[in-house]
Amino acid sequence: MARVLITGASDGLGLAAARSLIADGHAVTAHVRSEGRAEEVSDLLAGAEAVITGDLADRQETVDVARQANMLGRFDAVIHNAGIGSNEPKKITTRDGNAHVLAINALAPFLLTALIERPKRLVYVTSGMHLRGTANVRDMNWETRSWDAEQAYADSKLAMITLAFAVARIWPDVLANAMEPGWVPTKMAGYNAPDDLSLGHVTQIWLAVADDPRAAVTGRYFYHQQEQEPLPLAHDERFQEEVLKAMEALTSVVLPR
C-alpha cells in the first residue's frame, strides 16, 4: 500500500486517479479547492484517507495546502494533477499579481514541491502543448506581452515539465517524472476531445505506485506509459535554473537543494 496525495481530485482525471487508487487499497489524500467542494464530492471520494482544501490560484492557500499535507506525514507519492486549460480570453490576475493560468499550472506545483516533505515519487501532469511553449522566462506573468490564452497555457505547461526535470536533477533520491494524459474529454479539455478518457489517469497512477521497472525512473516524460521526447529546452540545465529562479521570485519560496 502506498500513501498518495493527488491535487485537483474533485473531478476529471484527478478524481478518476483517486478512486482507482482507493479501489486498489492505497491510502489516498485528495486535495480539493474548497470546503464546499469537498462536501459536494464526499460520496465520490468515499474511502479517501484524508481530504485537504485550498485554492491553488492563491499563494497563501497553496502554502496552507502544503501545511495540511505535512501534518499527515510523509507521502510515498505526490501527483500534481490540478490544472486549468487555455480558455481564458483575457488575462486573469490573481490577488498575488500572477497570471491565473501560471499560478495554478506552474507556481502551485512549484510551491507544493518546495514545501511538502519530499516523497519517494513526484508525478507532474503536463500537456503535449508544452511543445509549443516559449523560453520567455522574463515575462512568465505576461506583463509586457499581449495576452494569448493558448500560448500562456503552453508556456505554463513548459514551466511545469521543466520543474519536473529540474527536481529530478537536484533531488536524485526522488523519482520525478512528467506525463501527459492526452486530449481527453474532461471539463477542462472539452467533452468532444478525441482521446480515451478511461486511459487518461492510468499513467499517473503507474508512475506513482507501480513496481514496474519502467516506472522506476526519473526525469522522463510519458504518454500512455510510453516514454516520449519532450521539448529539448526542458532538459537544458541553464533553462531549468532560469525557470526555478523566476518561480522563486514570484512565490518568495526557494526550492531546497
Whole-angstrom CA distances from 249 to 128, 246, 253 are: 27, 5, 7
- Model pLDDT, residue 197: 56
Residue 214 has a pLDDT of 97
Q: What is the pLDDT of residue 120?
A: 98
Q: Where are the alpha helices (DSSP H) in 116-186?
A: 149-170
pLDDT classification of 184: cutoffs 50, 70, 90: very low
pLDDT(238) > 60: yes
The set of residues, in sequence order, having a beta carbon less than 8 Å from that of 238 and lying 6+ positions away, is none
pLDDT in tens, 110-149: 999 999 999 999 999 999 999 999 999 999 999 999 999 9
Share of the chain above pLDDT 90, in %: 89
Catalytic residue, candidates 91, 153, 191, 223? 153
Question: Is the pLDDT assigned to residue 81 strictly greater than 50?
Answer: yes
- How is 56-102 classified by DSSP, letter by letter? TTSHHHHHHHHHHHHHT---SEEEE-----S--SS--B-TTS-BHHH
Q: How far apart are CA 71 and CA 129, in angstroms?
A: 35
Q: What is the mean pLDDT of the chain?
A: 93
Instruction: Say whether 90 is catalytic.
Output: no
Q: Which of 90, 91, 124, 157 is catalytic?
A: 157
Does the structure show a pLDDT above 90 at 190?
no
Whole-structure pTM value: 0.94
> Residue 93 forms beta bridges with which residues?
99
Catalytic site includes residue 157: yes
